[in-house]
Amino acid sequence: MIYLGNITWENYAAVAVGLKLNEQQQTFLGNNELSLVQAYVSSANDEHPWLPFAIYLDDIVIGFAMIFYKSKNKSHFLIDELSKESFYGICRFMIAEEYQGKGYGKEAVKKVIDKIRTFPYGEAPAIYLSYDHENIAAKNLFASVGFVETGENDSEGCVLAKLIL
C-alpha cells in the first residue's frame, strides 16, 4: 500500500541520500537533501512552511514529495504571475528508479493530491507544478491524474501545469 509519511529521524537518510534516479532523470530534479534543507528554512521563515513527505510502499521508503501553499496576493519565486490567487504547489516529486514503471508514481501523486485536498493551510482552487520540457515521463504521469499544461513556463523555464481542485 502506498502512503505518505512525515520526515523523521528514522527515514531522513533514506529520503535524503538513499533514493536514486537514473542518470538522465537526475538533471530534471533537485537534490532531496537540499529540498529538506529548503523545507527547514521555510519552516523557520514562512507563514506556510513547505511540507515534505516520504512516499512509502508498505514499510519501504520509495519516494519523496514536497508541497507548498501560496496565499492570495503573495508572490512566489517560481510562479509570480499567479500572485493574485491562492494555490498549492507540488515542488518536488520523485519515485526511486527501482520502483518506477509499476504504477506507484501515479498512486503516490493521487495521495499527494488527497493530502492537498485536506487544505492544511487554507482553501485554494488549484494545484500547480512544473517540469522540464524534456521530462516526458513527468508530463505523462501528471497528465494521467488530471494536470493540464497552462501554456506558460515558470521562472526557470519549465512547463507549468495545473489541476483544478
Specify the number of domains making up the chain. 1
Query: Residue written as cell 509519511?
Result: 5
- Among 5-9, 39-43, 63-67, which is the least confidently predicted range? 39-43
pLDDT higher than threshold 60 for residue 81: no
Where on the phi/psi map is residue 92: left (φ > 0), alpha (ψ -120 to 50), or beta? Answer: beta
Model confidence pLDDT, tens digit, residues 25-43: 777 777 889 999 999 999 9
List the CATH number of the domain containing 152: 3.40.630.30
User: What is the domain extent for residue 84?
Assistant: 2-164
Report pLDDT for 99: 96
Report pLDDT for 11: 96
Q: What global pTM score does this model have?
A: 0.90
Query: Which is nearest to 3 in space by CA: 111, 114, 113?
Result: 111
Cell numbers standing for residue 123:
482553501
